[in-house]
Amino acid sequence: FRRAIPLDKGSLEKLVLCGAFDDLGGRNRHLQELGLEPKRELELLKAERELLGMYASRHPCSPFLPLVQSLQGGGESVAGELSGVQAMGNRWQGMLDTPEGLRSFEGTTGSFDGVKLVPGARLAFFGRASREGMFHVSWALPLGPTLLITPDPQNLQAIKSVLENEGGSKAAILLFGEAYHLLPQQFWVADAGKVQERFKAERIVYTWLDPWKENVP
């Protein structure tokens, strides 16, 4: 495709990254044809957003939506990237860039325990939406690599023993059939490699929800 279009390499790279040639093949294939290093899928999405000002092909939070819906119970939820936030005393207000568009939100400091309110953070908020469209946050969850554990009654104590001193940033969830139980933050994963080794030794069944391959022990 490069020979057919009289553009310099930099311009071609930008066209590739914004998806202009997606019908002709994958973006990494085109980057390699230009002599450039391939990028991870999440990096390609971020480059797309930087060039277009929006996610056109896919939103980074979309793969997490089934998990978010399973955790919301009888309430409401919204998931997206934090695009802006400001503090007003013990309250926070901001905007979330969701797959459906921008959503405004507000909540108290305690509503955001366990998450970092920094631009670009992928977050899920649980609470309720007002008639005016403002989402009132009751609690929040970071949307990154998430440990999904299928426990056996006989190894619940072993699970506790492995995780109780972790206190990390990767959420841990117990799966009881169709019920999802989010563990307190003190049981979230800090050292994924160590946890995986101990789980295997204890024969604990687990998997990672890690659509963007960020969890590299």
- Answer whether 216's CB lies under 8 Å from 193's CB: no
106 and 152 in a single domain? The answer is: no
Tell me if 57 is assigned to some domain.
Answer: no
Quick: pLDDT tens for 159-191: 999 999 899 999 999 999 889 999 999 999 999
Tell me if 215 is assigned to some domain.
Answer: no
Domain boundary among 93, 114, 142: 142
Quick one: pLDDT at residue 214?
92
Phi first, then psi: what are they for 183, rounded to 5°?
-75, 150
Domain residues for 194?
146-209
205 and 160 in a single domain? The answer is: yes
Domain boundary among 123, 142, 161: 142
128 and 199 in a single domain? The answer is: no
Tell me if 41 is assigned to some domain.
Answer: yes
Domain boundary among 127, 142, 157: 142
CATH of the domain at 122: 2.40.50.140
What is the residue type of 165?
A: N
83 and 136 in a single domain? The answer is: yes
pLDDT classification of 1: cutoffs 50, 70, 90: very low
- Answer whether 170's CB lies under 8 Å from 182's CB: no
Q: At what angle do helices 41-52 and 9-17 cross, to 10 degrees?
A: 110
- Answer whether 135's CB lies under 8 Å from 105's CB: yes
Going by C-beta distance under 8 Å and a sequence separation of 6 or more, which residues neighbour residue 15? 7, 21
Quick: pLDDT tens for 102-142: 999 999 999 999 899 999 999 999 999 999 999 999 999 99
33 and 80 in a single domain? The answer is: no
15 and 86 in a single domain? The answer is: no
190 and 150 in a single domain? The answer is: yes
Tell me if 43 is assigned to some domain.
Answer: yes
71 and 136 in a single domain? The answer is: yes
175 and 130 in a single domain? The answer is: no
Tell me if 31 is assigned to some domain.
Answer: yes
Quick: pLDDT tens for 22-75: 777 788 787 777 787 788 889 888 988 988 989 989 999 999 999 999 998 889
Domain count, the chain: 3
115 and 163 in a single domain? The answer is: no
